[in-house]
Chain A
Amino acid sequence: MSEYIVTIGLEVHCELKTESKLFCSCPNKFGGEPNSHTCPICSGHPGTMPVINKKAVEYAIKAGCAIGSRINKFSKWDRKNYFYPDLPKAWQTSQYDLPLCVGGEISFEVNGEEKTVHMNRIHLEEDAGKLVHSGGHTAVDYNRCGVPLIECVTEPEIHSADEAVAFLEEMISIFRYSGISDCKMQEGSIRADVNLSIAKRGEPLGTRTETKNLNSLRSVRRAIEAEIARQTDVLESGGRVVQETRHFDDASGTGYGMRSKEDAQDYRYFPEPDLMPVVMTDEDIERIKATLPELKAARRKRYTETLGLSAYDAEQLTDEPSVADLFDGTVALGANPKKAANYVMSEIMRKGKTEGEDGITVGVTAKQLAEILALVDKGEINLVASKDVLDKIWQSGMSASEAVDALGLRQNNDVGEIEKLVRDIISANPGPAQDFRNGNEKVLSFFVGQLMKATRGKINPKIAGELVRKLLTCS
């Protein structure tokens, strides 16, 4: 099998995170009852007309800026005509010869090696509706109709399933960091089409097939592997690969050819007469570019090189943009980077994962977190108590000091008071006290633990430890 070279190009459809749809003011929201987010425009009623959502255009350009595309100063809209029940106008408003973004590249690491894939283009278009099959019928839901999508087309420079998946992971991270899309595969907000051909080394490219609508990284991997195996079998047995559109069935793990020749793929593109072109000046493009945050790769580099974090920590912290933003914000407010990193990775990520449904939900602001860390640093609360503080903030949104007071957790640093407590605990535990005097140092932590328990963590453990040692030694 290795004698064949695999050539893959991806077309990635990614829904943009706008408030409203691309051409009408229906909400761009996942879920909801069928057809509850529709109007005469996105249902394709006669006489209705589209008006372009400005934010969607900006997001598409932002995506282009994030991957180094050239932004077309003059970009226009075209109709892609085909009949299907999920497409109420019977054309998809898209961009044909003058897309918003041209070129660009995405670099990523795969199996320890750096790899760059060039982009062909990014264009803006509308999503289609959803078909739900049951019994002898299909129900048509137009909620998703008109949701803004960017279609990102790569050059055919990907050569394995590993590369395809690593590329997608990097693209998803870039788009999520850019704030233009949630890229939630399980909600279908990002989907990939795989164009794949194989050929013997040194021979011209083989005939390609297109496997459409893969909606998880796992399906992308499996579909590519299955298609490579299938095409190899075809060629090995002396057959010819037929150019076709294929569908991959996740349940069975196999692909099959889809459309009959009825559809012949003649989309009869022509300029959309109902929409005027989009013209961008250098200033417009710069303005949009300026809204791009620092992306994952740059942050990872900064965390290791400037903040002195380990590569592992940098990777952990940058996995979720919201987590990285929290970390950066907290450090910017004066927190020690290593302490902040440890706290974010242990407490925030643990809590964010258990409470959120998918990904990580961050329930504190950088300001709140910086305050918690400062309180710990100053010894006003200890790490154990800080978890309760975090919980309180997460639920109530109050500031760290308010939460500390509300919980009555402010740490007791009064040596006189603590000494009294230590004396009590020693006289209540004569056995362990004797053990200590007999040379068992471990008993010290038993006493501190008892003290913390009795005071619900409110005393300064350092002071308590010193006093226990002093009093046990003197008496």
Chain B
Amino acid sequence: MTALTDKTLLEIKSDLAAKRVSSTEVTKAILGQIEDMKHLNAYVTVCADQALASAAEADARIAAGEDAPLLGVPVAVKDNICTDGIRTTCASRFLENYIPPYDAFVVKKLKEAGAVIVGKTNMDEFAMGSASDFSAFGAVKNAVDPTRVAGGSSGGSASAVASRQCYAALGSDTGGSIRQPAAFNGVVGLKPTYSAVSRYGLIAFASSLDQIGPITRTVADCKYVYDIIKGHDKMDSTSYDGDLNQGETFGTLKGRKIGVAKEFFPSALSSEIKSAVEKAIGFYEANGAEIVETSIQSFDMALACYYILSSAEASSNLSRYDGIKYGKRASGCKNLRDIYYKSRTEFFGPEVKRRIMLGNFVLSSGYYDAFYLRASKARTLIKQDFEDALAKCDALICPIAPTTAWKIGRKVNNPADAYLEDIFTVPVNIAGLPGLSLKCGEDKDGLPIGMQLIGRPYCENTLLSLGEIFEKGGRA
């Protein structure tokens, strides 16, 4: 018999609905697993008492014959998504004690669906990083190999899902923060189309790029959670008010076109990763899909474009942390200047400071045109290139990252080099497109290799169908 914690979300959901198991039992099993997996440091906050109370409530509702999409199912939420009454830290010392006075839209959606929120997952501070090691609460460890990083910034969510510490977790993705950690931990991650999931209550990093999405163990679970959290929200002016199911759901590859852009397979790419993704391409072709050659000529500009735009927005978004309204204030502040300088110097970590500095630099007088404005124009070109490429195919396929999970503490020569980690994921955020990350192989150390499927706006179903077919074919 499969252990409770080993079941997929859909399996446990059906067990709960059929009363084969109670939510209290399931929640206790998950809390036990969280305790056992403490060394992975996937959670910043575990809310055992609230979780057990929600589980008891769910059990009562199930007993009364009620049903809801996630009734009684334990899930986790990244710690940059506001939860009313549960502290939300963004893995920053600045917000170590911040208890939001409201729920994010997605948290409301989870609660309405009957979910049991077991805790808030660890991450890179303010979602800035690719390894979840820039956390004020210590690095998250990879569920496959705890000596390695979990990826980032949603490393806690990915590691927690992979190590059975919840059935699904929400992450956020500004430049790959859902997809890359999902790949590093061998699970499934979806970055939805920009505007498909409300950002209300997501603590902003880069508002024009941020998007919330699910991390799960299977593609079917991913679709299930995505369908719950997506939808229009009048509190988010950028939330899409149209058809979110513009992509088809299908079970066979006949007539499907998958695009391969040469820029996504640079010569420097490791042969292990290259061959794993090529094998996936081979799978699709062998099963009836047509492989189309495409090109994203502006691919080279994406990284610079991303770092300029995301840092610029971040510098503004993070100016509100000043030690006045919420969060911490440095001790011994004698005047206003102290409040700003001392608090921000003491409570922001080094990577956050670097990005704030970069953002203020590219926006500052004399540099705006050369950096911010030019990046906004590059964005036009990148968006256009993806539109053109996706006009010729249903989805693009490429690697998620140029490497697999590296050893914790790996020395980086310069923080700028670390940004190269994001080259395959950031273009998708720049273009606002959906991206699905799933495992397509393992390297010689047994570490998961991830591939990415990129689709047209609001065509998540296409990606999920492609993902599900691959997942089933891969298993068979």
In the docked arrangement, what's the CA distance between A406 and B462, Å? Answer: 78
Give Cα A275 to B207, complex, Å: 10
Q: B147: CB under 8 A from chain A? A: no
What's the least CB distance linking A147 to chain B, in Å? 18
Contact at A83–B237, with CB atoms within 8 Å?
Answer: no
A456 contacts chain B at the CB level, 8 A cutoff: no
Known: A47-B104, A268-B360, A270-B363. A85 touches B204 (CB 8 A): no
Contact, CB under 8 Å: A274 / B203: no
Smallest beta-carbon distance A2→chain B, Å: 38
- Listed stretches A62-70, A86-94, A229-237; interface member: A86-94
Q: Does A240 contact B (CB under 8 A)?
A: no
Contact with B along A13-54 (1 / 0, CB 8 A): 000000000000000000000000000100111111111100
CB contact list, A259-284 vs B, under 8 A: 262, 266, 268-270, 273-276
Query: Which of B104, B237, B340, B360 meets A275, CB within 8 Å?
Result: B237
Question: Taking the complex as formed, is B173 at the interface, i.e. its CB lies under 8 A from any CB of chain A?
Answer: no
Task: Find the residue from B204, B319, B324 having the highest chain A CB count within 10 A.
Answer: B319
Q: Which of B203, B316, B322 sits near A81, CB closer than 8 Å?
A: B316
Q: Is there an interface contact between B316 and A268, defined as CB atoms closer than 8 Å? A: yes
Q: In A57-116, which residues have CB < 8 Å from any B CB?
A: 79, 81, 83, 85, 88-91
Contacts of A262 in B (CB 8 A): 337
Bound complex: CA of A79 vs CA of B208, how far in Å? 14
Measured CA separation A181–B234 after assembly (Å): 27
CA–CA, A270 and B235, complex, Å: 22
Chain A residue nearest to B208 (CB atoms) is A273
Contact A85 B336 (CB under 8 A): yes
Task: Identify A43's interface contact among B325, B360, B364, CB under 8 A.
Answer: B325
- Is B456 part of the binding interface, using a Cβ–Cβ cutoff of 8 Å? no
Closest to A142 in B: B325
Considering the complex, give the chain A residue whose CB is closest to the CB of B360: A268
Tell me the minimal C-beta distance from A435 to chain B in angstroms.
84
Enumerate chain B residues within 8 angstroms of A266, measured Cβ to Cβ.
Answer: 364-365
- Judged by DSSP, the binding face of B is loop
CB-CB under 8 A from A46, the residues of chain B are 82, 88, 90, 95, 98, 100, 203-204, 320, 326
Contacts of A88 in B (CB 8 A): 320, 324-325
B198's nearest neighbour on chain A, judged by CB, is: A49
B65 contacts chain A at the CB level, 8 A cutoff:
no
Q: Are the C-beta atoms of A44 and B320 separated by less than 8 Å?
A: yes
Complex Cα–Cα for A140 and B326 (A):
13
B319 close to A85 (CB less than 8 A) = no
Decide: A44 and B325 in contact? CB cutoff 8 A.
Answer: yes
Q: Does B202 contact A (CB under 8 A)?
A: yes
Which B residues are in CB contact (< 8 Å) with A90? 316, 319-320, 322
Bits for B229-247, please: 1 = Cβ < 8 Å to A, else 0: 0000011111000000000
With CB as the reference atom, state the residue of chain B lying closest to A89.
Answer: B320
* B446 adjacent to chain A (CB < 8 Å): no
Could you mark each residue 176-214 of chain B with 1 if its beta carbon is under 8 Å from any beta carbon of chain A, else 0? 000000000000000000000001111110111000000
> Which residues from B are CB-within-8-Å of A44?
320, 325
CA distance A131 to B317 in the complex (A): 23
Minimum distance in angstroms from B247 CB to a CB of chain A: 24
Min distance, Cβ A472 to any Cβ of chain B, angstroms: 82
The distance from the CB of B327 to the nearest CB of chain A, in whole angstroms, is 8
Residues B237 and A47 in contact, CB atoms below 8 Å apart: no
Give Cα distance in the complex from A49 to B195, angstroms. 13
Contact A45 B102 (CB under 8 A): yes
Distance in angstroms from B354 CB to nearest chain A CB is 17
A269 to B362, CA, bound (A): 11
Q: A47, A83, A269, A270: which contacts B200 (Cβ < 8 A)?
A: A47
Partner of B313, one of A43, A273, A275: A273
B236 A49 Cβ-Cβ under 8 A: yes
Cα distance, A88 to B322, chains bound together (Å): 9
Q: How far is the CB of A450 from chain B (nearest CB, A)?
A: 73
Within 8 A of A (CB), among B7-40: none
Q: B202, B203, B319, B324: which contacts A91 (Cβ < 8 A)?
A: B319
Complex Cα distance, B319 from A88, in Å, reads: 9
Decide if B424 is an interface residue (CB 8 Å cutoff). Answer: no
- Chain A residue with the shortest CB-CB distance to B344: A83
Question: Residue on A with the closest CB to B327?
Answer: A46
**B319:A45 contact, CB within 8 angstroms:** no
- A50 and B199 CA atoms in complex are apart in Å by 11
Verify A49–B200 contact, CB threshold 8 A: yes
Residues of A within 8 A of B170 (CB): none
A45-B238 contact given A266-B364, A273-B313, CB 8 Å threshold: no
Q: CA separation between A273 and B4, bound complex, in Å?
A: 43
* Docked-complex contact A276 and B238, CB < 8 angstroms: yes
Please judge, given known A-B contacts A45-B102, A47-B201, A268-B360, whether A273 and B207 are in contact too, CB under 8 Å: yes
List B contacts of A49 (CB < 8 A).
Answer: 199-200, 235-238
Residue of A nearest to B103 (CB): A47
In the complex the two chains form, what is the Cα distance from A397 to B172 in whole Å?
A: 60
In the complex, which of the residues A47, A51, A270 contacts B203, with contact meaning CB atoms closer than 8 Å? Answer: A47
> How far in angstroms is the closest Cβ of chain B from A339?
53
B43 within 8 A of A: no
| Distance in Å: Cβ of B150 to nearest Cβ of chain A | 23
Q: Is the CB of B101 within 8 A of A45?
A: yes
Q: Which residues 118-174 in A have Cβ within 8 Å of B in the complex? A: 140
Flag whether B372 is at the interface (Cβ < 8 A). yes
B312 beta carbon closer than 8 Å to chain A: yes
A466 to B100, CA, bound (A): 84
Q: How far, in angstroms, from A274 to B208 measured CA to CA in the complex?
A: 7
In the assembled complex, the CB of B56 is this many whole angstroms from the nearest CB of chain A, namely 29
B219 to chain A, nearest CB (A): 29
The answer to whether A270 touches B199, judged by C-beta atoms less than 8 angstroms apart, is: no
Residues in chain B near residue A268, CB distance under 8 A: 315-316, 360, 363-365, 368
A3 CB to nearest B CB, Å: 36
- Tell me the residues in window 250-291 of chain B with beta carbons closer than 8 Å to chain A beta carbons: none
Type the 1/0 row for B68-88, where 1 means its CB is closer than 8 Å to any CB of A: 000000000000011000001
A47 touches B204 (CB 8 A): yes
Give Cα A90 to B321, complex, Å. 9
**CB <8 Å contact, B237 and A91:** no
Once the chains bind, are A270 and B372 in contact (CB under 8 Å)? yes
Complexed CA–CA distance, A274 and B313 (Å)? 11
Q: A80 CA to B336 CA in the complex, in Å?
A: 20
Instruction: Let me know if B360 and A47 touch, CB within 8 A.
Output: no
B324 x A140 contact (CB < 8 A): yes
Beta-carbon contacts of B358-391 to A below 8 Å, as 1s and 0s? 0010011100100010000000000000000000
Bound Cα distance from A422 to B320, whole angstroms: 84
A83 to B82, CA, bound (A): 24
User: What residues on B are CB-neighbors of A47 within 8 Å?
Assistant: 81-82, 100, 104, 199-204
- Give the residues from 91 to 105 in chain B that come closer than 8 angstroms, CB to CB, to chain A: 95, 98, 100-102, 104
Residues of B within 8 A of A52 (CB): 237
Q: Is the CB of A51 within 8 A of B324?
A: no
User: What separation, in Å, do the CA atoms of A79 and B313 have in the docked complex?
Assistant: 10
A40: chain B residues at CB < 8 Å are 100-102
Q: B312 to nearest A CB, angstroms?
A: 6
Q: Which residues of A contact B101 (CB under 8 A)?
A: 40, 45
Nearest chain B CB to A315 CB, angstrom units: 46
**B103 CB → nearest A CB, Å:** 10
With both chains docked as a complex, state the minimum distance between the C-beta of B279 and any C-beta of chain A, in angstroms.
Answer: 39
- Interchain residue pairs with CB less than 8 A apart (17): A40-B101, A44-B325, A46-B100, A46-B203, A47-B104, A47-B200, A49-B200, A49-B237, A50-B237, A81-B363, A88-B320, A91-B319, A140-B324, A266-B364, A273-B313, A274-B207, A276-B237
Question: What 10 pairs between A and B have smallest CB-CB spacing?
Answer: A90-B319, A268-B363, A273-B208, A273-B207, A46-B203, A47-B201, A47-B82, A47-B203, A266-B365, A44-B320
Beyond A85-B336, A276-B238, 19 additional pairs, beta carbon < 8 A: A40-B102, A45-B325, A46-B88, A46-B95, A46-B320, A48-B200, A49-B235, A88-B320, A262-B337, A266-B364, A266-B365, A268-B364, A268-B368, A269-B363, A270-B363, A270-B372, A273-B207, A273-B313, A274-B238
